[in-house]
Structure 1
Amino acid sequence: MIKMSTLLVFMWSSGYLGAELAARYSSWHMLLACRFVLAAALLVGFCVIRNRWRRSAAELEPWRLTRTGLARQVALGVVMQGMYLGAIGAAVQAGLSAGITALICSLQPLVVAAGALPILGERIGKREWGGLVVGILGVGLVVGGKLAVGDAPWWAYLLCVFGMLSLVGGTLAQRKMVAPEPVVVALAIQCTVGAVVFWALNVTLGDVIPPLTIEFGGSLLWVVALSTFGGWGAYMWVNREAGPMHVSTLLLLVPPTTMLIAWPMFGDAIGPWEIVGVVVSTVGVAVKLAGAGGTEKTPARNTEVCGPEPVERVG
């Protein structure tokens, strides 16, 4: 479990690092378009082969996708793949560092907790609310320090926050709908939607030819193999073996891990504001998780939020 948990943290961090790496060789929308085409082709192919295998096995019934299920996953794909990753990609292209992007997105479980009562009718305790406030304060310290330095325009931070909120909204909707589609099928549909969305954007902007360079090819393989399949596979395994609470806790280790890797990889300096912000956010997360020790379930335990890809509840 320790090895797979460590793998999960590093693979999820690779998503933010891959976005910053690819931004040096292509536009963010070209990277996402190519990423979704490749991921969708592999996932759809896997689903087709798996369904044919199920047909050939007498004891297994082939799984069928309903129109309602297809419409549900298309809508979720627009929000969770198009709006979320589009906003994050544009923010990174504008100069927002991988570490700051990961730190802002790490608030997803806490923001989900804030929306639990009005949307899902699930309560959280006072101590958990205290952790939420402290966690937000930590992010404010980091972002405030970066704004003072002027590393990225102010609207890049807003784009990142918008992307995070889009993923939270999509995940809460997914939680409320209790979608029955298998995870691999849901991801295949959403990646296909992402491919359509971002290739349509490429056509609109007149950017339809991917960079035919080794650097771009390497960054594309990075985000597909490490970020999509590596992070996704590790997440699913840890979630099945240890549960959603363990997964949510591990993913909150992504921001400091991303910052540490981005330091030698991109030369992103780690200043005092980042250190203070990470410490304060970590304290907030610790307080929040300590407050979740009761019997009440919270979205942070039952809803998988936190990454470039949506995840259904397992088990």
Structure 2
Amino acid sequence: MAQAPQVDRERGTSSQRERRWLTTFGPVIFLLLWSAGFPIAKTGLHYASPLTFLSIRFALSVGVLLAVCMFKRPQWPGTARAWTHLVVVGFLVQVMYFGLSYLSMTAGIATSVLALIVSLQPILVGVLAPKFVGERIGARRWAGLLLGLAGAAGVIVARGPLHAESLGPVLLAVGALIGITGAMLYEKRLGTAQDPLTSNLVQYSVGFVFCAPMALAFEHTQVQWTPTLVATLAYLVIGNSLIAITLLLAMTRAGKVSQVASLFFFVPPAAAVLAYFFLGEVLPSMAWWAMGVAVLGVAIATWTPRK
């Protein structure tokens, strides 16, 4: 009995160490993993067409999650409505966001531009929130919106004049932005809390069910199985789909929601730097200034003062 307080103290100390580790190293690791997903995915697209590549990624993710679920035995959705919500969010995120992002990269968009466009999601959510979820939007958020849009437009223009053939990738990226924004609004208005393992499993399954038939119908499904492709898939399945999401949830449970949200402001420049090292993509100096304006706009629009 005398050992019980000591055991409790040891558990408390261990919990404090884990929390300290999360707050110190977790944000940096998450930022690197998430931002690297853009250039690494584009690297993998050299060896497979976009929907085929995405279908393989989803299939591998489903396999890993099924194995984890058999071991962890998480709770499954208990109602048809909960299943429907997961399917809808899965379609918006996995099919629209990832599908159109991969198509955009295949069509030639720079990963830094894609990362910047989809990072405008918090602003777009804020603009549409009054209509869909009844939230008011103030002058500060409007100012952030205008800065974000101006910065995004500046990055695109700085890379050169847009022609008809270069407008398509940008429109696909905007479609990906609409997909992730729709998922956020839908989740906020109608979503229900579910176990992360089961929700991810359902959503990746939805992505596979939609993308695989389209790949078979519209793409040549030949895959060049090289060590680079295998490493790319391993990273996207383990680094992006499992480790990054697990870190995100762990940091949220540690009470660092605002810190995690602020990390997304740094995804576009981090993706641009990593794209330079991985792909040799170079941004003009004016594009860096415009990107800074866009990141500032997102930060202003989504910043919440402490109470």
TM-score by length of 1: 0.84
Shift of 1:289: 4.5
Name the CA distance, whole Å, in 1 between partners of 2:111 and 2:228. 18
Name the CA distance, whole Å, in 1 between partners of 2:193 and 2:301. 30
Q: How does 1:105-116 map to 2 (within 5 A)?
A: 105-116=118-129
**Greater C-alpha radius of gyration:** 2
Q: Which runs of 5+ in 1 are unaligned?
A: 55-61, 296-315
Shift of 1:165: 0.9
For residues 229-250 of structure 1, the C-alpha deviation after alignment (integer angstroms, 9 at most, x for no partner) is 1221221122222343222211
User: Does 1:218 find its partner at 2:231?
Assistant: yes
For residues 174-196 of structure 1, the C-alpha deviation after alignment (integer angstroms, 9 at most, x for no partner) is 11113132122111001011111
Contact 2:117 2:152 in 1 (8 A): yes
User: Does 1:160 find its partner at 2:173?
Assistant: yes
Tell me the equivalent position of 2:6. Answer: none
For residues 49-75 of structure 1, the C-alpha deviation after alignment (integer angstroms, 9 at most, x for no partner) is 222xx7xxxxxxx55543322222112
User: Does 1:15 find its partner at 2:37?
Assistant: yes
Shift of 1:152: 6.9
Name the CA distance, whole Å, in 1 between partners of 2:220 and 2:192. 35
Q: 2:86 aligns with which of 32, 52, 73?
A: 73
Q: Structure 1 residues 24, 206: CA separation in 2 closer, same or farther (over 3 Å shift)?
A: closer
Q: 1:33 aligns with which of 28, 31, 55?
A: 55
Tell me the equivalent position of 1:271. Answer: 284
Q: Secondary structure at the match of 2:143?
A: helix
For residues 35-93 of structure 1, the C-alpha deviation after alignment (integer angstroms, 9 at most, x for no partner) is 00000111122223222xx7xxxxxxx55543322222112211211111111000000
Tell me the equivalent position of 1:308. Answer: none
RMSD (Å), alpha carbons: 2.1
Q: Secondary structure at the match of 1:252?
A: helix
Query: Which residue type is aligned with residue 131 of structure 2?
Result: P
Tell me the equivalent position of 2:293. Answer: 280
Q: Structure 1 residues 289, 174: CA separation in 2 closer, same or farther (over 3 Å shift)?
A: closer
TM-score by length of 2: 0.86
For residues 220-267 of structure 1, the C-alpha deviation after alignment (integer angstroms, 9 at most, x for no partner) is 112112221122122112222234322221111010001111112211
Q: Which runs of 5+ in 2 are unaligned?
A: 1-22
Name the CA distance, whole Å, in 1 between partners of 2:183 and 2:59. 22
Q: 2:114 aligns with which of 98, 101, 111?
A: 101
Contact 2:47 2:223 in 1 (8 A): no
Name the CA distance, whole Å, in 1 between partners of 2:259 and 2:54. 29
Q: How does 1:38-187 map to 2 (within 5 A)?
A: 38-51=60-73, 63=76, 65-148=78-161, 153-187=166-200
Shift of 1:151: 12
Contact 2:121 2:181 in 1 (8 A): yes
For residues 196-221 of structure 1, the C-alpha deviation after alignment (integer angstroms, 9 at most, x for no partner) is 11211122135345332222212111
Tell me the equivalent position of 1:5. Answer: 27
Contact 2:122 2:298 in 1 (8 A): no
Query: Which residue type is aligned with residue 293 of structure 1?
Result: P
Higher share in helix: 2
Contact 1:102 1:255 in 2 (8 A): yes
Contact 1:47 1:185 in 2 (8 A): yes
Q: Structure 1 residues 281, 219: CA separation in 2 closer, same or farther (over 3 Å shift)?
A: same
Q: Secondary structure at the match of 1:115?
A: helix
Name the CA distance, whole Å, in 1 between partners of 2:219 and 2:289. 43
